[in-house]
Amino acid sequence: MTVAPFDYRKYLAIKKRIDDASLNPEVWKQLAVFLHERQAGEPLQILEIGAGIGTMIQRLLEADLLKNATYTAIEVEPDFKNSAKKTLDRWCVQHKKVFTTNQEAWQVESGDADVQINWKTGDILKMVDDMPPATYDLIIGHAVIDLLPVPLLLPRILDRLKPGAAYYFSLNYTGKTVFEPPHPRDDDILRAYHHDMDWRFPELTWQASRTGLHLGEWLREAGHTVVATGESNWSLEGNDQTDNGPRDFIANILDTIEQALAGLQGVSDWVNERRSQLAAGELHYFAANQDYFGFTRKPYMATRR
Ligand SMILES: C[S@@+](CC[C@H](N)C(=O)[O-])C[C@H]1O[C@@H](n2cnc3c(N)ncnc32)[C@H](O)[C@@H]1O
């Protein structure tokens, strides 16, 4: 059994269906209710940060949740724009929707839906202060908030949404990973991996590796409302003979750990042993994540910072 080399776009495409099965249904339901109720008048203004190859747009279209919306997607990787365009084009052909593009925007149309997509390539940390104020009704951050400096970015971004706008922050890693069977180096390898995540922002006490654990408390303390929260864990077996997806996904996780910990004594031995177990169909991978849906504070609720 061979394992494909690391390809981030392929990883995100596989991750789409793994996430579909992992997303917390109660939190998703709150997002769905919001979207059902809020697309009757002017187009709903949606902002997604860290949009990858556009899989959340596809997921929302599949769930029939985008009817009358302008969807602004921000993604730092320039190459992902083309992947997103191709993926959405293919999806629209398969689902008998009309997909049109011009230099400014893409459009998805069908009998009862009209969605405009504005894809912007750039770093949200650099773009946030130039975002038009009080424009967006909903912000989405899927599998990205734990890569960002929450106390630096979220106050700036949430205060630029419409007052009382909704947020959906899904797949936030909580800091718990388990590989089975156990290995004597697991604890120190995973501790070093979490330390590496946290040290992306050395000026902050915020632990990015525990975003899923602390995000709700952070949101409440900043005056925002948490309507729903729940687990969205990944639990994958690498031994499916008919579907390479979980195996390739775990392989990419191992590559990520190896790259992050390059130079740490013994990490290559650990990763290689895990790769052998994966190839033999003997490796199980679990990672704990947490989803959140709620509303941003209205001005009269503003707290001093
Ligand atoms: C783990 S991926 C998730 C992508 C997508 N949300 C999904 O689940 O398929 C995180 C994405 O956020 C993007 N990203 C990370 N930091 C960013 C930043 N500062 N500004 C914009 N995008 C960013 C990465 O390039 C990557 O595509």
Residue labelled with tokens 């895990």: 274
Beta strand pairing call for 138-142 and 44-49: parallel
Nearest atom in ligand 1 to the alpha carbon of residue 48 is 6
Share of the chain above pLDDT 90, in %: 90
Which residue ranges have their beta carbon within 6 Å of ligand 1? 12, 15, 49-52, 55-56, 74-77, 123-125, 142-144, 147
**Per-residue confidence (pLDDT) for residue 1, from 0 to 100:** 46
- The mean pLDDT of 235-241, rounded to a whole number, is 85
- The mean pLDDT of 171-182, rounded to a whole number, is 98
Q: Mind listing the pLDDT tens digit for each residue in 5-47?
A: 568 999 999 999 999 999 999 999 999 999 999 999 999 999 9
Question: 184 alpha carbon to ligand 1 midpoint, in Å?
Answer: 32
Question: 1 alpha carbon to ligand 1 midpoint, in Å?
Answer: 30
At residue 73, the 3 state secondary structure works out as strand
Pocket test for ligand 1, best of 9, 16, 62, 76 (most atoms within 8 A of CB): 76
Nearest CA to ligand 1 atom 26: 52
Share of the chain above pLDDT 70, in %: 96
Question: 75 alpha carbon to ligand 1 midpoint, in Å?
Answer: 6
User: In the predicted model, what is the mean pLDDT of the chain?
Assistant: 94
**Per-residue confidence (pLDDT) for residue 292, from 0 to 100:** 98
Q: Mind listing the pLDDT tens digit for each residue in 112-156?
A: 899 999 999 999 999 999 999 999 999 999 999 999 999 999 999
Nearest atom in ligand 1 to the alpha carbon of residue 55 is 9
Tell me: pLDDT of 178 over 60.
Answer: yes
Of 39-53, 72-86, 216-230, 286-300, the range with the lowest mean pLDDT is 286-300
Tell me: pLDDT of 3 over 60.
Answer: no
**Per-residue confidence (pLDDT) for residue 173, from 0 to 100:** 98
Nearest CA to ligand 1 atom 11: 50
Domains of the chain: 8-296 (3.40.50.150)
- The mean pLDDT of 76-98, rounded to a whole number, is 96
**Per-residue confidence (pLDDT) for residue 242, from 0 to 100:** 81
Tell me: pLDDT of 4 over 70.
Answer: no
- The residues, ordered by sequence, that sit 6+ positions from 174 with a Cβ below 8 Å of its Cβ are 210, 211, 212, 213, 288, 289, 290
Buried b (16+ CB within 10 A) or exposed e, 192-205: ebbebbbeebeeee
CA distances from 249 to 14, 52, 159, 225 (A): 7, 16, 36, 34
- The mean pLDDT of 267-296, rounded to a whole number, is 97
**Per-residue confidence (pLDDT) for residue 239, from 0 to 100:** 82
Tell me: pLDDT of 95 over 50.
Answer: yes
Pocket test for ligand 1, best of 6, 16, 75, 197 (most atoms within 8 A of CB): 75
At residue 63, the 3 state secondary structure works out as coil
Question: 217 alpha carbon to ligand 1 midpoint, in Å?
Answer: 23
